[in-house]
Structure 1
Amino acid sequence: MSNLYDMEVNTPAGEATSLREYENNVLLIVNTASKCGFTPQFKELQSLYETYKERGFTVLGFPCDQFAKQEFDNMNETMEFCQLNYGVSFPMFAKVDVKGEQAHPLFSHLTSAKKGLLGSDVKWNFTKFLVDRQGRVIDRYAPQTNPSKLAKDIEGLL
């Protein structure tokens, strides 16, 4: 499946939904974790979302538990944690695998479109993928890249 917008993902409640509703938006797709050293990036991700959402920008968060088990088992806990601690209001989705045989097709698509420094696999939480309005993966950012550093790249696509 080569079209990002044809993919289905699950809401935190486990209901299937299409990425079609984000078509024509600039997207920042991030694999997140609630108990990671990079978790404070939620604050900057939320700030980017609030700054640019009226111009057609959306952050999409995908919790992942593949790296040192740094995500809650229960999605309700994940959602509550993100909202209470970081005011997250951008779309969050159900937990996914981002690497390996069980990797969600979305992350297989993203990683095949933009390889990282150490190959295609996502290596840690808070790897970020910037997607243009046509659904093309424009860039990939390492977990240690602070979201605020992406503002210029986002603005260039809006």
Structure 2
Amino acid sequence: MSKIYEFTVKDANQNDYQISDLKGKAFIVVNVASKCGLTYHYEGLEDIYKKYKDKGLEILGFPCNQFGGQEPGTNEEIQSFCSLKYDVTFPILNKIEVNGSDADPFYKYLKETAPGVMGTKNIKWNFTKFLINQDGEIVKRFGPRTEPKEMLEDIEAVLV
């Protein structure tokens, strides 16, 4: 069994969200922000979610304010923004840190297991995406500028 399923994170209401509940599903993990030049990625991610959720794909959004202070809101404000502005229906979880000593343990694991370009472990910016297959293996790490639609081939490959 993959170590990824050992993690528990918090949802936006501070309730436990067990990653083990995703066993047998492919999923995308993405750090998100409401005031970023890449915030429009919500739209593409939601399109992917609507298209593939019934085929076993989940998306987990983790708000983070570490990049230019671009996610200053409370969990409630972030939920409202995502719902009203982008009609997001995939889970937007608890606001966390993804880098540094206070980084969420789940994100520490993701970064260690799937380093970025040239082996960098830190998340470079908002909307860095990780694709995980049904066995809990991280298949690919996508940089912030990778448009959600550019992930389709990889997503479809893990859903086969």
TM more than 0.5: yes
Q: Which residue in 2 is equivalent to 1:57?
A: 57
Q: Which residue in 2 is equivalent to 1:17?
A: 17
Q: What do the CA deviations read for 1:104-156 (whole angstroms, capped 9, x no partner)?
A: 11111111111111511001000000001011111000000000111110000
Q: Which residue in 2 is equivalent to 1:72?
A: 72
* 3-state SS of paired residue (1:140): strand
- Aligned amino acid, residue 5 of structure 1: Y
How far apart, in 1, do the equivalents of 2:138 and 2:40 lie? 25
Q: Which residue in 2 is equivalent to 1:97?
A: 97
- Aligned amino acid, residue 88 of structure 1: V
* 3-state SS of paired residue (1:98): coil
- Aligned amino acid, residue 103 of structure 1: A
* CA deviation after TM superposition for structure 1 residue 44, in Å: 0.2
* CA deviation after TM superposition for structure 1 residue 101, in Å: 0.7
- Aligned amino acid, residue 137 of structure 1: I
* CA deviation after TM superposition for structure 1 residue 72, in Å: 3.0
After superposing the two structures, state which structure 1 stretch, 87-96 or 66-75, moved more: 66-75
Moved over 6 A (4+): none
- Aligned amino acid, residue 15 of structure 2: E
How far apart, in 2, do the equivalents of 1:4 and 1:114 lie? 12
How far apart, in 2, do the equivalents of 1:88 and 1:81 lie? 9
How far apart, in 1, do the equivalents of 2:54 and 2:73 lie? 33
Question: RMSD of the TM alignment (CA)?
Answer: 1.0
- Aligned amino acid, residue 144 of structure 2: P
Q: Which residue in 2 is equivalent to 1:128?
A: 129
* CA deviation after TM superposition for structure 1 residue 89, in Å: 0.2
How far apart, in 1, do the equivalents of 2:18 and 2:150 lie? 29
* 3-state SS of paired residue (1:138): strand
* CA deviation after TM superposition for structure 1 residue 4, in Å: 1.1
How far apart, in 2, do the equivalents of 1:73 and 1:51 lie? 29
How far apart, in 2, do the equivalents of 1:16 and 1:71 lie? 22
* CA deviation after TM superposition for structure 1 residue 73, in Å: 3.0
How far apart, in 2, do the equivalents of 1:68 and 1:91 lie? 23
